[in-house]
Amino acid sequence: MTSLPRDEVELSLLAHAERLESEEDLSVLPQDDLEEELKPHMKTPLSSREKRAIFLLTALFLSQGLPVVLATGSLPFLLRKNLSYSQLAIFSLSSYPYSMKLLWSPIVDSVSMPSIGRRKSWILPLQLMLGIVLLVLSFSINELMEEPAEHLYALTATFTLIIIMAATQVALTRLLIGWALKLLHESNRSYLSTCQSIGFTTGFLLSFTVFMALNSADFAQRWGIPQLTLRTYMRFCCAVSLSLVVWLLLEKEEKEDANENVNIKSVYLTMWEICKLKHVQSLLLLHLFAFIGFQADSDVTSLKLVEKGLTQEFLSISVLIGFPFQILGSYLAGRWARGNKPLKAWMLAFWPRLAMAGAGALIVWLFPGQPIPAVFLCAIVAQGMLSTFAMTIQFGGMISFHSRISDPLVGGTYMTLFATFNNLGTTWPKFFVLRGVDMFTIAACNVQHTTLTKPIECVSQQGKAACTQSGGECVIERDGYYIISGICLALGVLSVIFHMIPTARRLQVIPAEKWRVSSG
């Protein structure tokens, strides 16, 4: 099990890695350049205008995190109660647009309505549409969630639309950075990174940790509080979006500089030229297959633990426990990425991540009955923390490498391209991993004294329900989770030994100028 995050909401289709990758999307400028741009000198007192700007920017970053984590993190966990893994695989397709926003981000950068301003041209309609979709969906979401199998494709299509709108907001990050640099005094621009961190992290905590705990009937009964329904939470997200619309209508946008204009054709051509570089092709291929070994752990392990009796509120709390290790990992990754071997820590971190993926499968195998011993709960938390730490080391080390090799003249394009393929590396295998669990599972309905002439399968939720109605009991003869975990681990070990490490060693010694379009 991975602990949530940037990669994971653990119980979910949004792995802790994904949250890390979501934050990478918020760092589309080369990190070294961004730090220079935002480096404070002597901080001056914040004016009322700057305080208002900081609150607005934080709220905008918060609004990016709320729907993404709800749709790709918490919701799949709730759906698992009534869907098979194969059906969850279909729903997981709704998260794919988040990793493909590179396809339309240049349009966001270049197309605008001068009458209302470059940023508002996109932020206002996106927030308005998102709020309306969430509000309309909230009226029927409880009914849809009661019989999700019957409405699977409608749910998938609706949340695909929500993810596209949220992903487009993330694509606006470059514009928000430019806006912030105008709103904040030079000595206070370091607050921008704080706005990003607080905004997106708060959105993650609200949509996963807080929602999952308050949505639990047992948690609500234990503490004597009303249960937070999905309908109510979606209306809260709607209120956030519509409140931002009103706020933005009242906010005056700064004049844009002439050099802010982006030529959409030139951006796509630059991306194509970057992709033609042999070194870049090797790096992109590295990203696409780097996470195979941990995919079953990040996508399925937590769901299996909940099936066996672990409470969702415990998993929510375990995520909070992992945050200090995430911060420590980020700090160490920055230090270890210095020198002439920037990918050394990234390579070494593969081994503890693979070990923790194997440990996650072992924890599921050894899961005891109720009550769960405290020692076993500690083992679950420890596995999540170590996995999170290693994941953060890899994320931070690779981001530092991206910053080092990006061409300063088109650094944002480089970072966006790298972030896209990094995200795709954690996204594309999900469908196949989830489908594989059901494909390799053998489960039969054991019915005593039956007159049934056709055996009842016990893999899908419909089959399990039919078995129960027939007075039978589903017996799992072979759990496909363990087979998929073994396949992922085997592929992970082989790819690390024969591809990841050799390729990373070769790429990290290539001079920075060789990565630039002008150098070829």
3-class secondary-structure state, position 477:
strand
- Residue 463 and residue 396 share a domain: no
- Residue 105 and residue 242 share a domain: yes
Query: Which residue did the predictor score with more confidence, 457 or 162?
Result: 162
pLDDT at 147 > cutoff 70: yes
Q: Please report, for the domain that includes residue 113, its CATH number.
A: 1.20.1250.20
The residue among 430, 14, 33 whose CA lies nearest residue 200 is 14
Strand partners, 445: 474
Q: Mean pLDDT over residues 302-320, rounded?
A: 86
Convert the pLDDT of each residue in 417-472 to its tens digit: 898 899 899 999 999 999 999 999 988 887 776 555 456 667 766 677 778 777 77
Q: Mean pLDDT over residues 168-174, rounded?
A: 77
pLDDT at 41 > cutoff 50: no
pLDDT at 240 > cutoff 70: yes
pLDDT at residue number 43:
55
Across the chain, mean pLDDT equals: 82
Q: Could you tell me if residue 437 is inside a domain?
A: no
Q: What percent of the chain has pLDDT over 90?
A: 37
Last residue of a domain, one of 237, 262, 287: 262
Residues 434/300, Cβ–Cβ less than 8 Å = yes
- Residue 168 and residue 304 share a domain: no
pLDDT at 36 > cutoff 60: no
pLDDT at residue number 489:
97
- Residue 103 and residue 206 share a domain: yes
pLDDT at residue number 333:
72
- Residue 453 and residue 404 share a domain: no
Query: Which residue did the predictor score with more confidence, 40 or 52?
Result: 52
pLDDT at 33 > cutoff 80: no
pLDDT at residue number 218:
85
Q: Could you tell me if residue 20 is inside a domain?
A: no
pLDDT at 29 > cutoff 50: no
Q: Please report, for the domain that includes residue 358, its CATH number.
A: 1.20.1250
- Residue 163 and residue 196 share a domain: yes
Q: Which amino acid is at 100?
A: M
pLDDT at residue number 466:
77
- Residue 267 and residue 122 share a domain: no
Last residue of a domain, one of 262, 284, 305: 262
- Residue 72 and residue 210 share a domain: yes
Counted residue by residue, the chain has a size of 520
Rounded-to-integer distance, Cα 34 and Cα 177, Å? 10
Residue 355 tokens read as 């070990």
Q: Could you tell me if residue 344 is inside a domain?
A: yes
pLDDT at 6 > cutoff 50: no
Q: What percent of the chain has pLDDT over 70?
A: 83
Q: Could you tell me if residue 17 is inside a domain?
A: no
Rounded-to-integer distance, Cα 347 and Cα 17, Å? 16
pLDDT at 26 > cutoff 50: no
3-class secondary-structure state, position 471:
coil
Q: Could you tell me if residue 232 is inside a domain?
A: yes
pLDDT at residue number 255:
60
- Residue 68 and residue 214 share a domain: yes
The residue among 171, 182, 188, 186 whose CA lies nearest residue 255 is 182
pLDDT at residue number 508:
92
**Residue 219 structural domain:** 48-262
Q: In the Cβ-directed half-sphere of 101, how many Cα atoms lie within 13 Å?
A: 30
Reported as a pLDDT band with limits 50, 70 and 90, residue 311 is confident
pLDDT at 520 > cutoff 90: no
- Residue 361 and residue 302 share a domain: yes
Q: Could you tell me if residue 117 is inside a domain?
A: yes
DSSP letter (8 states) at residue 225: -
365 contacts: CB under 8 Å, gap ≥ 6:
482
pLDDT at residue number 15:
41
Q: Could you tell me if residue 256 is inside a domain?
A: yes
Q: Mean pLDDT over residues 123-144, rounded?
A: 92
Q: How many domains does the chain have?
A: 3
Reported as a pLDDT band with limits 50, 70 and 90, residue 223 is confident
- Residue 191 and residue 59 share a domain: yes
- Residue 352 and residue 277 share a domain: yes
pLDDT at residue number 5:
37
The residue among 433, 432, 399 whose CA lies nearest residue 416 is 399
Q: Could you tell me if residue 37 is inside a domain?
A: no
